[in-house]
Structure 1
Amino acid sequence: MPARRSLLILSFSNIRSDPRVLKQVQLFRDRYDVTTCGFGDAPDGVVEHIEVAPDARTWVDDKVAIALRRYERAYWGTAAVADARPKLEGRRFDGILANDLTAVPLALALEPRFGVHGDLHEFAPKEKDDDLRWRLAVAPYMRWLCRNYLPKLVSVTTVARGIADRYEADYGVTVGVVTNAAPYAEREPRPVHTPIRLIHSAAGQRYRKLENFIELMKDAPADVTLDMIVMPNEPDYVAELKAMGEGVPGLTFRDPVPYDRLVETLAEYDVSMTFLPPTNFNLAHALPNKFFEAVQARLALIIGPSPEMVTILEEYGLGAVVPDFSVESLRALIARITPEQVAAWKAASHVAARPLSAESQQRQWADAIAAMLHVGAEDPLA
């Protein structure tokens, strides 16, 4: 029996808590000999895990190199890259799945036998384009990475069609789409609560404007409550939010839960609010994890007019779209919803759960990696 192909999954993240990368591991660990490289402990089922030092920063510290546009020096001097490189050098892999742009040059330098697939989690050249200093200093570096390294990849995927289209237009590469869909969960929609229970889970980052939800609840209808699960990405901002929310009727901050318990936790609610003001390009094209997690929890959805989400929500009848990103419009919509509407939207999520599951989305990854590794398609997901 021929030996299985070897695949390195490289990600400068904590793989055990990174939903997108963890799904890659779970998809490929039974098909290939998977080695992972990233922060934290080894994910289950891999043949080896190469841990990046926990204090190694993933961002460029060499401001002089960035200012002088000495981008090679800037990249290879990045602490996480500099830590991972000697740990990986001399190892031979049949293929590498590189997550995010910052992993791509290192993956290519390792010269795997059949090449590198890049999975880009956002449009990197506009990651923080709401910040003038970032646009002036960092964006040129990200564009340089794209110009120099994306054409060398065997294949590329990203999270949403709008982002894929921009990569194709700017850099001439063909980009497939694998959404951040959650794994299929076998469950039934729960009855609508009285009062209706709203939930918003999010990274605690200032540009997401989570204070909008606190303003919403200061004058919200009495027949709704809102729980917020906010990750401590920016601890000072999260502390500000909690201080702002003290004494606001119907508002509760709930502690974050592990990813493998998130969908079950969400299922305690009725409506997920995925309301992301387009403060930068990637948020304007957002199609986030929380959208798909809500479907697997069999919740109704209330979203802003984010085009990627609107397309899917309207196709499956999953909920309602706020006409703009103002708190006033969100409050007006919340005031109009009825338990009967919410029940119908939850039922629609139940119907959509399988076609919108990770299992249905991952064909793009499976096919791309199989093609790169020159593996046959006997297995229906190989």
Structure 2
Amino acid sequence: MTVAGASTVQRTAWILSYTGVSDEPRVLRQAKALGDAGWRVVVAGHDGRSARPPEWRYIRLDDTNPPRSLARRLGQLCQRELGRAACIHFAGWPAAAQAGARLIYRGLPLWSAAQAEILAAAESEPGLRPDLVVAHDYHTCPPAGELARRTGAAFVVDCHEYSRAEYPGNPGWMARERPFVIALQDDYLARADAVTTVSDGIARLLERDQALKRPVTTVRSLPFYAQMPLRPVGEPIEVLYHGIVGPERGLEVSIQSVRGWKPEYRLTIRGNGESTYLDALKALSREAGVAERVRFEPAVPFGEIIPAANQADIGLFVQSDLSPQKRLALPNKFFEYVMAGLALCIADLPEMATLLQRHDLGVLARKLQPDAVAEAVNSLSRDRIMHYKAQALAAARLLNWENEQRTMIALFDELMRERRPSAC
């Protein structure tokens, strides 16, 4: 379903994301930057919890499993299994593996239905013909690539993750899903007119792994600038983790470390996650004897993330170095903590550590162990916290989307200059 917005402009950009797009920071920032630069913006994705920007032209994708006949279900199962066999057994023959990846995609009910919805919407509204199509991660590459091919639009893939090594601790994913991801990315990233990603480290890996038309452009996931107050250190001292509450984010170690914290510190975990995982974390806090010092809160709407974080004193993120994806992460929360004016306590991972040290933002936990995290937290005296808070607010004047978006818009302008007049 396409929902009309208020924009009337010349160039048109389509942004495709299989997420709740009104809650997806990178989609929201990208769309606003394009709109401010004079583009008409079409966003295809799922409904989120937050209000959708009224200026979007919005294609609402179904996020439920549509009813299918038994024959259809069996047919898609066969497509997936044949495709997986091709990706696994013909990994050394790229054309065969990539054909297998496309077969898997057609066999995935939600993704194949979304592709059909996107292409049907484009065909039904020729006035929205794109000049630029942006795929968010490999999930949306097939519809984005096909839409760009049909319309002569520039095709960009925005990689939020280093997807080839996203779940190295999951044997099932490594055996069955990773070959699909590799084949799909090898296929579509090579076709893309440009690839963007969130950190220089991931950019280097993508350039190493894939044959690309041009070097990867790093566009970091920085928040919009928001002037926050320099808030005095609280009583008790509030340590905050916010973001997705899920495995491999160091939350178990963070909770266990609270046993070694000075008594004036307490931890808030703010975010959404699977109920079973949240229950397990709450049980862990009870087993560790720190349940009274660990608070769990639901995620806040997108526009409230920074003001809510400003009420804390220390931003905590100590995920492990399990893979290149984790090692080279430069996540939203790092910059959100900075924008909120928090002292930082983060894992000693290169991309985050470099920025922390460059701007003097806080301390590093040298190991993902409860004692090491506790030592880092305890090193943050009230005076040091105030120093790092002031440093964060100063750094926020540089590390914001208003500055970072210039890199992205310059890339898109370059792509438009390269297109034939008939394609634009």
Both structures adopt the same fold (TM-score exceeding 0.5): yes
Q: Does 1:102 align with 2:142?
A: no
CA contact (8 A) 2:198 2:219 kept: yes
CA deviations on 1:333-382 (whole Å, 9 max, x unpaired) are 22222100000000100110111111111112111222223399xxxxxx
Larger radius of gyration: 2
Where do 1:1-382 residues align within 5 Å? 4-30=10-36, 31-40=38-47, 43-56=52-65, 62-69=80-87, 70-89=100-119, 90=123, 91=126, 92-110=129-147, 111=149, 112-173=151-212, 174-232=215-273, 234-246=274-286, 248=290, 249-374=292-417
CA contact (8 A) 2:348 2:364 kept: yes
Query: SS of the counterpart of 2:28?
Result: helix
Deviation of the 1:43 alpha carbon? 2.9
Query: SS of the counterpart of 1:244?
Result: helix
Deviation of the 1:240 alpha carbon? 1.0
Counterpart AA for 2:231? R
Aligned equivalents of 1:148 and 1:49: distance in 2? 28
Query: SS of the counterpart of 1:200?
Result: strand
Q: Which runs of 5+ in 2 are unaligned?
A: 1-7, 67-75, 88-99, 420-424
Aligned length: 372
CA contact (8 A) 1:208 1:279 kept: no
CA contact (8 A) 1:189 1:297 kept: no
Query: SS of the counterpart of 2:261?
Result: coil
Relative to structure 2, which stretch is displaced further, 236-245 or 7-16? 236-245
Deviation of the 1:121 alpha carbon? 0.6
Query: SS of the counterpart of 1:225?
Result: strand
CA contact (8 A) 1:108 1:115 kept: no
The residue number in structure 2 matching 1:379 is none
Aligned equivalents of 2:265 and 2:54: distance in 1? 43
Deviation of the 1:135 alpha carbon? 1.6
CA contact (8 A) 1:12 1:80 kept: no
CA contact (8 A) 1:128 1:135 kept: yes
Deviation of the 1:292 alpha carbon? 0.5
Aligned equivalents of 2:237 and 2:181: distance in 1? 44
Aligned equivalents of 1:333 and 1:7: distance in 2? 45
Bigger proportion of residues as helix: 2
Relative to structure 2, which stretch is displaced further, 122-131 or 304-313? 122-131
CA contact (8 A) 1:305 1:325 kept: no
Query: SS of the counterpart of 1:204?
Result: coil
Aligned equivalents of 2:380 and 2:12: distance in 1? 52
Counterpart AA for 1:322? A
- The RMSD of aligned alpha carbons is 2.1
CA contact (8 A) 2:366 2:372 kept: yes
CA contact (8 A) 1:114 1:372 kept: no
Identity %: 26
Aligned equivalents of 1:3 and 1:268: distance in 2? 40
Counterpart AA for 1:29? G
Counterpart AA for 2:196? T
Q: Which runs of 5+ in 1 are unaligned?
A: 377-382
- After superposition, the Cα gap between the structure-2 partners of 1:40 and 1:56, relative to the gap in structure 1 and judged at 3 Å, is farther
